[in-house]
Amino acid sequence: MKISLFCNTRYMGPAVRGTWPVPATQYDPKIAESSMQLTLDQAKLADEVGFDWISVAEHHFAPFSVTPNPMVMAGAMSQVVKRAKIALLGPDLPILNPLRVAEELAMLDTLTGGRIIAGLMRGTPNEYVTYNINPNESRDRFAEAVKLIRRAWTEKQPFGWEGRYYQYRSISIWPRPVQQPHPPIYMSGSSEQSGKFAADNQLGLGFAVTTLPAATKSANYYRDQAVKAGWEPKPDDIIYRLGMHIADTDEEAINDIVEAGADKPRAGITLMNMAVLNAVQDSKYYGKDVEKDRESNIAKHGLEEKIELGELIVGSPETVVSQIKKIQDTLGPGILDVISAVQLGERTNKSLTLMGTKVMPQIKDW
């Protein structure tokens, strides 16, 4: 099993409570600068202590994540992350130019010597309005963009593209990906439509903002559809994202969680909070929901329930190993994409170090 550190680059300062988009009335460029540096420092540390992947994502107009362009952050990470793969989970395809995405991912793959993971995502529905894209078109735009990107990476002769949403007279990208035929491709989604699309196109599938039982049900459907499509997913074809905090003892880890507020159930969360549900210190920055039909019961779960449902791994290294074993036995993911459930300075760094030095050696051959 592989471990990935999700670096969401959270704005480490106060922000106005409210719905998306979040007003910038309390924005401080110095805090933003230090937040980005913290991300790079943690990515460097995770690489040094043995994490297999470092992951980044795209989000807009909110302090949950100040990486509207994950390509830029991945380029910066390439200068400090020297061994681990860098996973872009994603770019958000429906709101972007897919040909530009293909070129930038190929460029990053070249910069890193073939260490890029290509997560091609639809993005959260609220963010379709970022660049004025009709949400009703997002699934079809995504499907066409994935096919275009894959062809741009593999076709060596110039070609034209006349699709429903994208038209290009002549395409021949330079540079080309180091990994052949192209970097590993993942998409996210727990719906049957997403699972079938991933299976039909031999893509990996990622699960976030969910529970272990729900992800297991979706993963089994994906596996069944893949067999019907003539192939069988391997463990590394499945990514599962969850919160994580490790300390020397269970008591110390739980005390850190309590200090950060992660033990408290919440009655309601915004869509952006859902994307980083276990980093509960963000919850004070947001107000009412912006998409109630996607509000999850996981917002109401307390600490014990979060652990039981696979939303959070917390405790000593040995305890966390046993929690990961349950996830592996139930869901069978090849990659756990963990997000630090608390940001408490040196205690967070120690958590990352314990994961790399005490937990990962025990699970690497699973």
Q: Is the pLDDT of residue 345 over 60?
A: yes
* pLDDT confidence tier of residue 16, bands split at 50, 70 and 90: confident
Are 196 and 186 contacting, i.e. CB atoms less than 8 angstroms apart? no
Go through the domains of the chain in sequence order and give each one's CATH number. Answer: 2-363 (3.20.20.30)
Other CB atoms within a 10 A radius of the CB of residue 254 amount to 17
pLDDT at 267: 30
Strand partners, 188: 206
Q: Above pLDDT 90, what percent of the chain? A: 84
Which residues does 21 contact at the CB level (< 8 Å), separation at least 6?
60, 61, 62
Rounded to two decimals, what is the model's pTM? 0.90
Report the distance separating Cα 71 and Cα 290, nearest Å.
27
Indicate the range of 4-8, 80-84, 192-196, 296-300 predicted with least confidence.
296-300
pLDDT, mean of residues 203-207: 98
pLDDT at 28: 97
pLDDT, mean of residues 285-298: 34
Other CB atoms within a 10 A radius of the CB of residue 280 amount to 23
Stated as kind and residue range, the H or E segment containing 246 is strand 238-246
* pLDDT confidence tier of residue 70, bands split at 50, 70 and 90: very high
Three-state secondary structure along the chain? CEEEEECCCCCCCCCCCCCCCCCCCCCCHHHHHHHHHHHHHHHHHHHHHCCCEEEECCCCCCCCCCCCCHHHHHHHHCCCCCCCEEEEEEEEHHHCCHHHHHHHHHHHHHHCCCCEEEEEECCCHHHHHHHCCCHHHHHHHHHHHHHHHHHHHHCCCCEEEECCCCEEEEECCCCCCCCCCCCCEEEECCCHHHHHHHHHCCCEEEECCCCHHHHHHHHHHHHHHHHHCCCCCCHHHEEEEEEEEECCCHHHHHHHHHHHCCCCCCCCCCHHHHCCCCCHHHHHHCCCCCCHHHCCHHHHCCHHHHHHCCCEEEECHHHHHHHHHHHHHHCCCCEEEEEECCCCCHHHHHHHHHHHHHHHHHHCCC
* Per-residue pLDDT reduced to its tens digit, 24-66: 999 999 999 999 999 999 999 999 999 999 999 999 999 999 9
The structure tokens listed for 111 are: 């910069």
Residues in the chain: 366
* Per-residue pLDDT reduced to its tens digit, 169-183: 999 999 999 999 999
pLDDT, mean of residues 247-265: 86
Share the mean pLDDT of the chain: 90
* pLDDT confidence tier of residue 292, bands split at 50, 70 and 90: very low
Report the distance separating Cα 272 and Cα 105, nearest Å.
25
Residue appearing with tokens 């460097």: 44
Which of 230, 228, 255 is closest to 316 using CA atoms?
255
